[in-house]
Structure 1
């Protein structure tokens, strides 16, 4: 806490003044939190001076800053592994104290920390307590002046090219990961950042946003074993019987209106916890006033996690940097509303960096329509990835999009929208446009090859642990 108080003094955050007439100060308190590493051990004791109340339109605009999409993190990990980079990490000690405020804001002294001489006084703030927007602007200005180029798609990605060497910097709020092809360039950047800002150099990237990352000579392994154990403990599933699969093949969930209702708060908490786990676990990505049958299905997933806590993603150092996509659809798979589910994945070489399994917004009238919509969704993600990877200096011609429906491919390749296709929502026909422009190449996948491709994708996260044992 002494460190935080010193930051307040050094950054001239507040002044202790007499309470102004006709102004009601905002309540405050000190919030204490331990930052833990992947092994659960405390790596840093953190203290923050928090406001009790925020009002929309007054202090929201100074709070938010651009945040990297999680796909950009997995893309960076796969790219770094392919190039043989060892990503480093640094943490900003006082990212929240960079924003000046124009409003006149007074806050009470936090309970238990009142001044002995002036217990009735209040603090007049000079800086925004949560000025992330200002922090990002300050860091962005520093990087651009240092010769970095900001990503054209991802505004939290910065790249520096110097003498044939490249340095990559990715920002996530007050965490920064970076590395490059030159050790001297990386060391120089770390020294510059330490001089300019209050930084903690944390060494090789190992634990980031709840992701455990192991970087080796053969590649990078990303998993969430600690998070898995934490949620098993949270929902009292730590002693449950392990299961070898996330769901029974003969289970078909429906509304189950006659079933016994369950605690919705607990059920939604379980679903929310599982959603973040899908960052590295595509094997559990499924999706209801919830009933007992739904809760049992969710508990089955937890029991599967008990059996496979350390599964994750493998990004090989021998992987190429080619880009391809795969799409599939489960026509009318939902028993409740008969909507189809679009399933897509995108690979950078052999590295699975993005995937999705989502129910479609409307009912598809045919398998062709369901497959066409799924392919359009995959095309959209591929185009975003193509633009993002261009910032890394990668260029692509026609990107192969693998589809197992000849009918859906025919719809995309047909220059005329006839009566059988005009009912499909216009927004999905951009698939046809990008095929005609040559951005993607629609490739049919035979049934046998389809199974082989799915097996190849699955192998990216099922046989990883032995590589690091």
Structure 2
């Protein structure tokens, strides 16, 4: 806790001032947690403010949420990266590095109130963890540091080319992934970032947001084997009988209003865990999205379909995505659709996938917004969605 406050003082995050009239300061709280990696954990404490107390137009104007998987999917198969492996660095106290434009006041941290001025409040110069504008402020600061064009905060993925060397950078909150066509460009970028921020250089990218990444000269393999085993254990499916497919070809789910109801909380937990697994599992994308439609009132038939997916995961725990270093940069897309496949409203389902050379970088399976009058119409809607993603 002392280290966190010392970091705030060193970065000039706030100033202790008299409470302003007609302004209600936002409360602060301490958060303690263990940041778990695939091979251990690290204790951490940080101070933040509850974001739900911030009022739009007063405490913040705009918000921002980053993307991660699709930009990362384009990093891995990119040919210029063959000369060096992707590296990873972590920014210590990332959000308190971002300058905020709004006038925001917060209460003094619990247990660390000033003895001389116990009634004063802090006026923020930089962001805390919790306020709505914190992610946007941090991305604006870090994008300025890596010298990218306006709009980088909405891209999350940038590239630059100087003197024949190519460097790509992806930022997700306080995690930065970077790689280049030469070791000199990678080292130069790491040194530049370390001079501006307090960084932890973590070396070769191996574990990122529960994705396990193994890099080799021939390519990169991404999987979620540990996460798969964890959810099998969590939902007591570790000893279940493996299945070779995630869903039977003759299964057709519907509302099943006469069926027996099941625990909604557990069912939603299983769906949420499986949805995160689709980051590296296009083979379960369709069936997981199909089962997710019945979270409002799950029945026994729906639970059996979900357990069938877990039994399939028991059969394929280390299945993942392979990104070949020799892949070309040709961008291709494929689409398909079932006509009136949903038994409730007779809407069709679009399935699309996009490949960069031989590397699968994006995919989706979602129900169409309107009812298609023919198979041709359903196919055109799916193709339009695929082309939009390609563009």
Instruction: With the length of structure 2 as denominator, give the TM-score of the two structures.
Output: 0.87
Aligned to 1:168: 168
> Distance in 2 between the 1:91 and 1:80 partners?
25
Which of 44, 47, 53 is the aligned partner of 2:45? 47
Q: Does 1:317 align with 2:325?
A: yes
Aligned to 1:134: 137
- Which region of structure 1 is more displaced relative to structure 2, 151-160 or 331-340? 151-160
Deviation of the 1:279 alpha carbon: 0.9
> Distance in 2 between the 1:23 and 1:315 partners?
53
Deviation of the 1:54 alpha carbon: 2.0
Paired residue secondary structure (1:78):
coil
Aligned to 1:460: none
User: How has the CA–CA distance of structure 1 residues 370 and 101 changed in structure 2, closer, same or farther, with 3 Å as cutoff?
Assistant: closer
Q: Does 1:294 align with 2:302?
A: yes
1:86-125 alignment runs, 5 A limit: 86-97=85-96, 98-100=98-100, 102-103=102-103, 105-110=105-110, 113-115=111-113, 117=115, 120-125=118-123
Q: Does 1:241 align with 2:241?
A: yes
User: How has the CA–CA distance of structure 1 residues 247 and 14 changed in structure 2, closer, same or farther, with 3 Å as cutoff?
Assistant: same
> Distance in 2 between the 1:371 and 1:265 partners?
36
Q: Does 1:351 align with 2:356?
A: no
User: How has the CA–CA distance of structure 1 residues 157 and 177 changed in structure 2, closer, same or farther, with 3 Å as cutoff?
Assistant: same
- Contact in 1 for aligned 2:88/2:202 (Cα 8 Å): yes
Deviation of the 1:102 alpha carbon: 4.1
> Distance in 1 between the 2:337 and 2:273 partners?
26
- Contact in 2 for aligned 1:345/1:355 (Cα 8 Å): yes
User: How has the CA–CA distance of structure 1 residues 275 and 104 changed in structure 2, closer, same or farther, with 3 Å as cutoff?
Assistant: closer
Relative contact order, higher structure (CA 8 A, sep 6+): 2
- Contact in 2 for aligned 1:28/1:108 (Cα 8 Å): yes
Deviation of the 1:227 alpha carbon: 1.9
> Distance in 1 between the 2:135 and 2:3 partners?
19
Deviation of the 1:266 alpha carbon: 2.1
> Distance in 2 between the 1:20 and 1:75 partners?
48
Unaligned runs of at least 5 residues, structure 2 = none
Deviation of the 1:370 alpha carbon: 1.6
Deviation of the 1:246 alpha carbon: 0.9
Aligned to 1:331: 339
User: How has the CA–CA distance of structure 1 residues 168 and 284 changed in structure 2, closer, same or farther, with 3 Å as cutoff?
Assistant: same
Structure 1 residues 338-370: Cα deviation after superposition (integer angstroms, max 9, x where no partner) = 222111111111111111111112222222222
> Distance in 2 between the 1:336 and 1:186 partners?
53
User: How has the CA–CA distance of structure 1 residues 352 and 300 changed in structure 2, closer, same or farther, with 3 Å as cutoff?
Assistant: same
> Distance in 1 between the 2:330 and 2:114 partners?
65
User: How has the CA–CA distance of structure 1 residues 100 and 349 changed in structure 2, closer, same or farther, with 3 Å as cutoff?
Assistant: closer
Q: Number of residues paired by the alignment?
A: 375
Deviation of the 1:299 alpha carbon: 1.3
Aligned to 1:340: 348
1:30-429 alignment runs, 5 A limit: 30-39=30-39, 41-42=40-41, 44-52=42-50, 54-57=53-56, 58-61=58-61, 64-65=63-64, 67-79=66-78, 83-97=82-96, 98-100=98-100, 102-103=102-103, 105-110=105-110, 113-115=111-113, 117=115, 120-127=118-125, 128-130=127-129, 131-144=134-147, 148=148, 155-285=155-285, 286=287, 287=290, 288=294, 289-383=297-391
Deviation of the 1:337 alpha carbon: 2.0
Deviation of the 1:152 alpha carbon: 8.1
> Distance in 2 between the 1:28 and 1:262 partners?
39
> Distance in 1 between the 2:390 and 2:226 partners?
31
- Contact in 2 for aligned 1:342/1:374 (Cα 8 Å): yes
Paired residue secondary structure (1:135):
helix
Pairwise CA RMSD of aligned residues? 2.6
- Contact in 1 for aligned 2:79/2:327 (Cα 8 Å): no
Deviation of the 1:118 alpha carbon: 5.5
Instruction: With the length of structure 1 as denominator, give the TM-score of the two structures.
Output: 0.73
